[in-house]
Amino acid sequence: MITISYEELALGSVLLLLNGVVSLWFRTGMAVTLVVSSVRMVVQLGLMAYVLRYLFLTQMPLWTLLAVVVMISFAGYEVMARQKHQIEGGWGYGIGMGSMLMAASLVTTFSLFVQIKPDPWYDARYTIPLLGMVLGNTMTGISIGLTTLTTNLKQERDAIETRLALGHNKWAACETVVRQALYTGMIGIVNSMSAAGLVFIPGMMTGQLMAGADPIEAAKYQALVMFLIAGGTTIGTTLAVFLGVYRLTDNRHRLRLERLILRK
């Protein structure tokens, strides 16, 4: 396996200057965000590397479970932080984290017991990477789905309230908005699966190929991961969108958009 020195890694980061130049030249306001995000990425990856090295050596299920809880907790925060219109109170965080907990745990457990079958089944070398890939993509789907839901509920408020006044229940009145939210939340993984192998080689397959794995085996693993990601994204996005509708309406089938907080 080819190793990368810290000097070579630093040279690779020079490519970020292109982003910075474009941002400053066109005054997009992304320059500072770019610097913060890149520094945060390096720190997080470094910390994760040391944590994974320890987990791989110890093989303690309790520490693996703790790492899983931390990952899901931060993912829930990221979903909430990306919303322009946040659902007030603990619901804003709970919807994101609960949806990802359900989706990622179901899909990861399914793959560990049915396809991968590591011994022991909680082996961090398999559990953490699988969970991370599913969680990252599910987080994106949930975030986009909820953003579409809250934005369209505000834009279509008059139409929805008209349907409610005509006797529709809250689910029927919000059907169009829900459909659009689910579509936008899941279209990303659909596009990725459509282009994988033809337009680009996905990250996991690329890593295995560079590590010397057989291309056929690398392709099989990548296809499995894409299936898992698609399942996790579908479960998480669907659950989050329906929980969002549930919270932004009430038992009397009224729209309750005052439960949304505009994030500054």
| Parent domain of 36 | 1-58
Query: Tens digit of pLDDT for each residue in 71-101?
Result: 999 898 888 888 888 888 889 899 999 999 9
| Residues 132 and 22 occupy one common structural domain | no
Our CA dihedral for 61, 66, 67, 73, rounded to 10 degrees, sits at 150
Residue pLDDT, tens place only, 164-191: 999 999 999 999 999 999 999 999 999 9
Residues 186/169, Cβ–Cβ less than 8 Å = no
pLDDT tens digits along 129-145? 999 999 989 999 999 99
* Residues facing residue 28 across a β-bridge: none
Average pLDDT of every residue of the chain: 90
Q: Are residues 198 and 70 in the same domain?
A: yes
Q: Is the same domain home to 132 and 218?
A: yes
| Residues 155 and 187 placed together within one structural domain of the fold | yes
135 and 152 inside one domain: yes
On the question of pLDDT at 247 being above 70, the answer is yes
Total domains present in the chain: 2
- Is 2:210 a contact under the CB 8 Å cutoff? yes
| Closest by Cα among 163, 49, 132, 146 to 96 | 146
Question: What's 141-186 look like in SS3?
Answer: HHHHHHHHHHHHHHHCHHHHHHHHHCCCCHHHHCHHHHHHHHHHHH
pLDDT at 211 (0 to 100) = 82
186 lies in the same domain as 99: yes
Structure confidence by residue, pLDDT tens digits, 10-26? 888 888 888 888 888 88
